[in-house]
Each structure stands twice: as C-alpha cells, then as structure tokens.
C-alpha cells in the first residue's frame, strides 16, 4: 500500500468509510476530521499485502493528541476505503506501536 497515495486521496475526499468503521468511530468518539487529520500525519505500521479480502494496511496517526489506528484498503473504484478505526489500547496494544 502506498501511504502517500492514501494521504493524497484522503485529502481530496476520495475515501469511503465502511459500516464497521462508522460503528467503531462512534464508539471511540472519533470524528471524520480526526480520521482525516490522523491519516495526513500517519505512518505505516503494518502492511497486509496478502490479505485474502484484498490488500490493506494499518496506519498510525494522531488528532487532538490522541493516537489513532486506521486500517484501510482500496474500494472497487480505487478510492481509499476505511475498514476500521480505533484508539490503540490494552488488551491488544501496549502502546500505539506495540502489540500486547
């Protein structure tokens, strides 16, 4: 996955959010602006090029001082697809870059 392309397309509004990501962002109190900001300053944490559902990746960005994880791939029309979004925390994450 090309992180610069993801950042560029997101900046242009060429992205969609899955139903799952919508539920997660509401549960975690993450706004669309938070997602856009986090993607704009993100780093690539994990690249899932061989995922059977299609290539995707895990990005780490931040907004309002909060670390945010965003899993994204591409939609059939080549937009960025936000698959899920969440705040990294225990029990799955020791810190924003280290899995438990």
pLDDT in tens, 61-92: 999 999 999 999 999 899 999 999 999 999 99
Contact 1, 44 (CB under 8 A): yes
Averaged over 10-34, what is the pLDDT? 97
In the prediction, which pLDDT does 6 show? 97
In the prediction, which pLDDT does 22 show? 98
pLDDT tens figures, 28-68: 999 999 999 999 999 999 999 998 888 999 999 999 999 99
CA gap 48, 66 in Å, rounded: 24
Q: CA 91, 61, 63 angle in degrees (round to 5)?
A: 100
In the prediction, which pLDDT does 53 show? 83
């Amino acid at each position: 996955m090309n992180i610069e392309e993801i950042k560029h397309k997101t900046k242009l509004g060429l992205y969609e959010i899955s139903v799952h990501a919508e539920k997660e962002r509401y549960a975690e109190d993450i706004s669309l602006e938070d997602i856009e900001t986090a993607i704009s300053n993100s780093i690539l944490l994990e690249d899932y090029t061989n995922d059977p559902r299609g290539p995707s990746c895990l990005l780490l960005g931040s907004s309002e001082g909060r670390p945010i994880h965003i899993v994204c791939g591409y939609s059939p029309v080549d937009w960025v697809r936000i698959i899920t979004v969440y705040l990294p925390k225990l029990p799955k994450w020791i810190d924003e870059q280290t899995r438990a």
